[in-house]
Chains A and B, each alone.
Chain A
Amino acid sequence: MDKVEKGKDDKFTMRNFLSRFSKALLKVAIGYILFFIFSKLMIPLEGIYSYQTGLTTLIVLFLVFTFFIELTKGTIIQHVFSITNSLMIVFYFVCILDTGLINVTIEQVDLMVDLRFFLSILILGGVLSFAKSMLQLVNWMNEREERWLRYQIKSL
């Protein structure tokens, strides 16, 4: 109920916007730092597995979506971005599932790493995110209707 009442205050004000903007930037910065650490850790595996190209695109898109989701919080656009984001994650992991079986040769040694099970878990995570986003959208529409109905009742 608190959320419904709070929804009334989700007006676009400069203060509100700046707060959201800084929050969005902070989230993007944290995301970027995590990716940076991950890239550093992957340095020993460079040349073995060319994860970079696809993953960098995914991370960039993910950070862009995170930024806009935070910026458009409380609007339907937030949910559109959220759903697109989770679908993009699922799509990315489905696309790279085939490359999850890595076969590389390093100085006469054939190395095989099977990441398919791990990638399947990540796909499951993406689907879970998608379900959450859809439920959030349904909830948001429900709350909006509730607010409108309450407004109609009050005005009678």
Chain B
Amino acid sequence: MNVPLRALSWAVRFFWIIALAFAVTCVYSVTLIRVDFGEPIMNSTEENCTITLPIVFDNNGYYNIAGLNITTLITDYENKRISEATTYIEQVPPQNSATIFHNVSFNLNEIMIQDHYLFNDSNFTLSGSIQLNYANLIPLGFEVNTTIPWGAPLFNFTTGEPEYNTYNSTYMRVNVPINFENHSPYFNVSGDILIEIFNDRHQLLGESAVSVDVPFNDMWYGEIETLVNAAMVTERGQIRIYVETEMFRYGPMVINHG
């Protein structure tokens, strides 16, 4: 009985020594892990916008990081999912570092087709989570919720009353005052504003366009001049406004006048 008992005693001792050593080194190791977030890189095509976030995991600890899972979820003001991205790294061995490029893609057109985002400042909610298994034994998870401000590119878009002036015996000059502010920090509003003028019989009287290039936080004010056939002008009518830029297309905005 003595030999097995001694063996068992030693086994128990070893067990506790290993458990204690593991607990101590594990806590110490965690303090040696460094996570650095690099500058996000934004790539946008006609349809998609991809934000690449470089994350450097510097595992200076004694144990490996396994099953590293980075997930980001972007939702809009109505809590609808805009984008969800996941990056999975099988493991980061001890005394090693891993650079992860986490790509978040979303369809800009889907955002831009919603009038709300064109004319109103808003916020997107970004939920990020990192899950990992430390030392193959202790699951760890981090979660962060933050808001991404969205600036409306056509903030406070207003049109004034159209002014009709005689140009010559055949034509009249119509001036439509328009103003807006570009609140978007992500892009300039570069493109054209087109207007079409109709009479009350829905006949096109004239159309014209003006080029704009409005940087972030700038206000644009202008009068769009259109020559219309004086014979076809009626007391009441309709003005249709289109905005066509590199990033979005909007229109028609219908304004009844008279």
Residues of A near any B CB (own CB < 8 A): 3, 34, 37-38, 41-42, 44-45, 108-115, 117-118, 121-122, 125, 128-129, 131-132, 135-136, 138-139, 142
Contact = CB atoms under 8 A, between A and B. Distances in A.
Contact of A3 (B2, B12, B141): B2
Contact of B140 (A44, A113, A117): A113
Contact of B27 (A42, A110, A112, A138): A42
Interface string B2-16: 100100110110011
Contact of A125 (B9, B15, B31): B15
Interface in B19-48: 19-20, 23-24, 27-28, 31
A108 B128 CA distance: 11
A112 B9 CA distance: 36
A125 B19 contact: yes
Contacts of A115: 138
29 contacts: A34-B20, A38-B20, A38-B23, A41-B24, A41-B27, A44-B31, A109-B144, A110-B141, A110-B142, A110-B144, A111-B140, A111-B142, A113-B139, A114-B139, A114-B140, A114-B141, A115-B138, A117-B139, A118-B137, A125-B15, A125-B19, A128-B12, A129-B16, A131-B8, A132-B5, A132-B9, A136-B5, A136-B9, A139-B1
A115 B139 CA distance: 7
Interface in B126-170: 137-146
Contacts, number: 73
Nearest to A112: B141
A132 B137 CA distance: 26
A108 B12 contact: no
Contact of B144 (A108, A117, A135, A136): A108
Contact of B12 (A117, A125, A138, A139): A125
B22 to A, nearest CB: 8
A142 B143 CA distance: 58
Given A118-B137, A131-B8, A138-B1, 10 more contacts: A3-B2, A38-B23, A38-B27, A45-B27, A108-B144, A108-B145, A111-B142, A114-B139, A114-B140, A139-B5
A41 B142 CA distance: 22
A118 B15 CA distance: 13
A52 to B, nearest CB: 14
Contacts of B27: 38, 41-42, 45
A135 B2 CA distance: 10
A117 B19 contact: no
Contacts of B8: 128, 131-132, 135
B1 A142 contact: yes
A142 B1 CA distance: 10
